[in-house]
Amino acid sequence: MNDKLTIALTKGRILKETLPLLTRAGIEAVEDIHSSRKLVFETNRPEVQLVVLRGTDVPTYVRFGAADMGVVGKDILMEQGAEGLYEPLDLGIARCRLMTAARVGWRSDGARIRVATKFVNIARAYFAQQGVHADLIKLYGALELAPIMNLADQIVDIVDTGNTLRANGMEPLQEIATVSSRLVVNKAAMRSRYTAITQIIADLTAAVQEGGNAAP
Protein backbone atom coordinates (compact mmCIF):
# COMPACT_ATOMS: atom_id res chain seq x y z
CA MET A 1 0.00 0.00 0.00
CA ASN A 2 2.84 2.38 0.75
CA ASP A 3 3.89 2.78 -2.90
CA LYS A 4 0.43 4.00 -3.90
CA LEU A 5 -0.82 7.53 -3.47
CA THR A 6 -3.68 7.20 -0.98
CA ILE A 7 -6.67 9.56 -0.84
CA ALA A 8 -8.87 9.31 2.28
CA LEU A 9 -12.56 10.00 1.73
CA THR A 10 -15.28 10.83 4.24
CA LYS A 11 -18.33 8.55 4.51
CA GLY A 12 -21.89 9.75 4.00
CA ARG A 13 -23.04 12.87 2.20
CA ILE A 14 -19.49 14.07 1.56
CA LEU A 15 -18.62 10.77 -0.15
CA LYS A 16 -21.67 11.00 -2.43
CA GLU A 17 -20.62 14.47 -3.56
CA THR A 18 -16.89 13.67 -3.74
CA LEU A 19 -17.07 10.70 -6.10
CA PRO A 20 -18.50 12.65 -9.08
CA LEU A 21 -15.85 15.30 -8.48
CA LEU A 22 -13.11 12.65 -8.56
CA THR A 23 -14.61 11.21 -11.74
CA ARG A 24 -14.38 14.61 -13.43
CA ALA A 25 -10.75 14.73 -12.24
CA GLY A 26 -10.08 11.37 -13.90
CA ILE A 27 -10.07 9.18 -10.78
CA GLU A 28 -12.67 6.42 -10.48
CA ALA A 29 -12.91 3.39 -8.19
CA VAL A 30 -12.90 0.14 -10.14
CA GLU A 31 -15.90 -1.11 -8.12
CA ASP A 32 -19.00 0.44 -6.57
CA ILE A 33 -17.93 2.03 -3.28
CA HIS A 34 -21.52 2.48 -2.09
CA SER A 35 -22.43 -1.21 -2.32
CA SER A 36 -19.12 -2.65 -1.11
CA ARG A 37 -18.12 -3.43 2.46
CA LYS A 38 -14.49 -2.86 1.60
CA LEU A 39 -12.66 0.18 2.95
CA VAL A 40 -9.75 0.30 0.47
CA PHE A 41 -10.44 0.66 -3.26
CA GLU A 42 -8.26 0.45 -6.32
CA THR A 43 -8.88 3.03 -9.04
CA ASN A 44 -8.52 3.33 -12.81
CA ARG A 45 -5.16 4.94 -12.06
CA PRO A 46 -2.91 2.12 -10.77
CA GLU A 47 -0.83 4.52 -8.69
CA VAL A 48 -3.86 5.90 -6.79
CA GLN A 49 -6.08 4.19 -4.22
CA LEU A 50 -9.00 5.41 -2.12
CA VAL A 51 -9.84 4.64 1.51
CA VAL A 52 -13.21 5.41 3.11
CA LEU A 53 -13.23 6.62 6.72
CA ARG A 54 -15.28 8.44 9.32
CA GLY A 55 -14.87 12.16 8.80
CA THR A 56 -13.30 12.67 12.22
CA ASP A 57 -10.57 10.17 11.32
CA VAL A 58 -9.56 11.61 7.95
CA PRO A 59 -7.27 14.37 9.32
CA THR A 60 -5.55 11.85 11.59
CA TYR A 61 -4.81 9.44 8.73
CA VAL A 62 -3.46 12.29 6.60
CA ARG A 63 -1.55 13.99 9.44
CA PHE A 64 0.34 10.80 10.32
CA GLY A 65 0.99 9.85 6.70
CA ALA A 66 -1.24 6.78 6.48
CA ALA A 67 -2.97 8.69 3.67
CA ASP A 68 -1.29 11.26 1.46
CA MET A 69 -4.41 13.34 0.84
CA GLY A 70 -7.96 13.51 2.13
CA VAL A 71 -11.39 15.08 1.77
CA VAL A 72 -12.97 16.34 4.99
CA GLY A 73 -15.46 18.95 6.20
CA LYS A 74 -14.10 22.31 7.33
CA ASP A 75 -15.94 21.83 10.63
CA ILE A 76 -13.69 18.86 11.47
CA LEU A 77 -10.58 20.86 10.61
CA MET A 78 -11.76 23.76 12.77
CA GLU A 79 -12.45 21.42 15.69
CA GLN A 80 -9.28 19.32 15.48
CA GLY A 81 -6.81 21.86 14.13
CA ALA A 82 -4.82 21.57 10.92
CA GLU A 83 -1.33 20.87 12.26
CA GLY A 84 0.72 18.85 9.78
CA LEU A 85 -1.73 19.49 6.95
CA TYR A 86 -1.94 21.70 3.89
CA GLU A 87 -5.42 22.80 2.85
CA PRO A 88 -4.92 23.69 -0.82
CA LEU A 89 -8.48 23.56 -2.13
CA ASP A 90 -12.05 24.26 -1.12
CA LEU A 91 -14.01 21.64 -3.03
CA GLY A 92 -17.23 23.59 -2.61
CA ILE A 93 -19.30 20.47 -1.82
CA ALA A 94 -21.45 19.39 1.14
CA ARG A 95 -22.12 23.02 2.03
CA CYS A 96 -23.85 23.72 5.33
CA ARG A 97 -23.65 26.05 8.33
CA LEU A 98 -22.27 25.57 11.82
CA MET A 99 -24.76 27.32 14.09
CA THR A 100 -26.06 27.78 17.58
CA ALA A 101 -29.69 26.76 18.12
CA ALA A 102 -32.22 26.64 20.94
CA ARG A 103 -35.88 25.88 21.57
CA VAL A 104 -38.22 28.33 19.88
CA GLY A 105 -38.67 31.38 22.09
CA TRP A 106 -35.75 30.60 24.40
CA ARG A 107 -34.07 33.67 25.86
CA SER A 108 -30.99 33.87 28.04
CA ASP A 109 -31.49 35.20 31.56
CA GLY A 110 -27.96 36.60 31.51
CA ALA A 111 -26.47 33.84 33.65
CA ARG A 112 -24.26 31.01 32.46
CA ILE A 113 -25.71 28.87 29.74
CA ARG A 114 -25.31 25.17 29.08
CA VAL A 115 -24.38 24.19 25.54
CA ALA A 116 -24.44 20.66 24.12
CA THR A 117 -22.19 19.93 21.13
CA LYS A 118 -19.63 17.61 19.65
CA PHE A 119 -17.66 20.69 18.55
CA VAL A 120 -16.39 21.63 21.99
CA ASN A 121 -13.26 23.47 20.84
CA ILE A 122 -15.17 25.56 18.31
CA ALA A 123 -17.93 26.29 20.82
CA ARG A 124 -15.49 27.24 23.56
CA ALA A 125 -13.72 29.73 21.31
CA TYR A 126 -16.99 31.14 19.93
CA PHE A 127 -18.69 31.78 23.27
CA ALA A 128 -15.50 33.21 24.76
CA GLN A 129 -15.33 35.64 21.84
CA GLN A 130 -18.96 36.60 22.49
CA GLY A 131 -18.25 37.14 26.19
CA VAL A 132 -20.74 34.42 27.14
CA HIS A 133 -20.10 32.08 30.05
CA ALA A 134 -20.94 28.67 28.61
CA ASP A 135 -20.71 25.28 30.28
CA LEU A 136 -20.06 22.80 27.48
CA ILE A 137 -21.54 19.30 27.42
CA LYS A 138 -20.02 16.95 24.84
CA LEU A 139 -22.53 14.75 23.02
CA TYR A 140 -22.05 12.64 19.91
CA GLY A 141 -25.53 12.62 18.40
CA ALA A 142 -29.19 13.63 18.68
CA LEU A 143 -28.19 17.05 19.92
CA GLU A 144 -31.75 18.36 19.49
CA LEU A 145 -32.78 16.16 22.38
CA ALA A 146 -30.59 18.03 24.88
CA PRO A 147 -32.76 21.20 25.13
CA ILE A 148 -35.96 19.12 25.07
CA MET A 149 -34.73 17.11 28.07
CA ASN A 150 -33.39 20.24 29.84
CA LEU A 151 -29.83 18.99 29.57
CA ALA A 152 -28.75 22.13 27.73
CA ASP A 153 -30.01 25.60 26.82
CA GLN A 154 -28.40 25.71 23.38
CA ILE A 155 -26.66 23.40 20.97
CA VAL A 156 -23.88 23.98 18.46
CA ASP A 157 -24.31 21.79 15.40
CA ILE A 158 -24.24 21.54 11.63
CA VAL A 159 -27.42 22.88 10.02
CA ASP A 160 -28.34 22.01 6.45
CA THR A 161 -32.06 22.50 5.74
CA GLY A 162 -33.09 23.17 9.36
CA ASN A 163 -35.87 20.58 9.09
CA THR A 164 -34.61 18.54 12.05
CA LEU A 165 -34.50 21.63 14.24
CA ARG A 166 -38.05 22.62 13.31
CA ALA A 167 -39.35 19.09 13.83
CA ASN A 168 -38.05 19.25 17.40
CA GLY A 169 -39.36 22.71 18.26
CA MET A 170 -36.02 24.45 17.80
CA GLU A 171 -34.71 27.35 15.75
CA PRO A 172 -31.24 28.41 14.57
CA LEU A 173 -29.75 31.43 16.34
CA GLN A 174 -26.26 32.54 15.28
CA GLU A 175 -24.05 31.32 12.45
CA ILE A 176 -20.54 30.44 13.58
CA ALA A 177 -19.11 29.42 10.21
CA THR A 178 -20.04 28.39 6.70
CA VAL A 179 -18.78 24.87 6.11
CA SER A 180 -17.78 23.00 2.96
CA SER A 181 -15.48 20.08 2.22
CA ARG A 182 -11.76 20.68 1.81
CA LEU A 183 -8.87 18.83 0.24
CA VAL A 184 -6.06 18.31 2.74
CA VAL A 185 -2.53 17.06 2.06
CA ASN A 186 0.15 15.62 4.34
CA LYS A 187 3.03 18.12 4.46
CA ALA A 188 5.75 15.48 4.17
CA ALA A 189 3.94 13.80 1.25
CA MET A 190 3.71 17.15 -0.52
CA ARG A 191 7.50 17.30 -0.50
CA SER A 192 8.21 13.65 -1.35
CA ARG A 193 5.45 13.20 -3.96
CA TYR A 194 5.19 16.75 -5.16
CA THR A 195 4.60 16.08 -8.87
CA ALA A 196 1.87 13.47 -8.38
CA ILE A 197 0.06 15.44 -5.67
CA THR A 198 0.16 18.79 -7.46
CA GLN A 199 -1.23 17.09 -10.59
CA ILE A 200 -4.19 15.75 -8.59
CA ILE A 201 -4.75 19.17 -7.03
CA ALA A 202 -4.77 20.71 -10.51
CA ASP A 203 -7.17 18.05 -11.80
CA LEU A 204 -9.52 18.57 -8.86
CA THR A 205 -9.33 22.35 -9.22
CA ALA A 206 -10.42 22.01 -12.84
CA ALA A 207 -13.19 19.60 -11.81
CA VAL A 208 -14.48 22.03 -9.20
CA GLN A 209 -14.54 24.86 -11.72
CA GLU A 210 -16.17 22.65 -14.34
CA GLY A 211 -18.90 21.66 -11.89
CA GLY A 212 -19.64 25.23 -10.89
CA ASN A 213 -18.67 24.44 -7.30
CA ALA A 214 -15.81 26.85 -6.96
CA ALA A 215 -15.94 28.90 -3.77
CA PRO A 216 -16.86 32.56 -4.31
User: Is the model's pLDDT at 213 over the cut of 70?
Assistant: no
pTM confidence score: 0.90
Confidence of residue 2 (pLDDT cuts 50, 70, 90): low
Measured CA to CA, the distance from residue 31 to residue 197 in angstroms comes to: 23
The model's pLDDT over 98-120, given as tens digits with 9 standing for 90+, comes to: 999 999 999 988 779 999 999 99
Cα–Cα distance for residue pair 215/153, rounded to 1 Å: 34
Say how far apart CA 179 and CA 94 lie, in whole Å. Answer: 8
Beta strand extents in the chain (DSSP E only):
5-10, 40-42, 48-53, 69-73, 85-90, 96-103, 113-117, 134-138, 154-159, 170-179, 181-186
Checking if the pLDDT of 211 tops 80, the result is no
Average pLDDT over residues 162-168: 93
Domains of the chain: 5-94+180-210 (3.40.190.10), 97-177 (3.40.190.10)
Choose among 9, 5, 194: nearest CA to 91: 9
Task: Convert the pLDDT of each residue in 42-97 to its tens digit.
Answer: 999 999 999 999 999 999 999 999 999 999 999 999 999 989 999 999 999 999 99
The predicted pLDDT at position 68 comes to 98
Residue 1 pLDDT exceeds 70: no
Average pLDDT of every residue of the chain: 94
Q: What mean pLDDT comes out for the span 125-135?
A: 95
146 or 108, greater pLDDT: 146
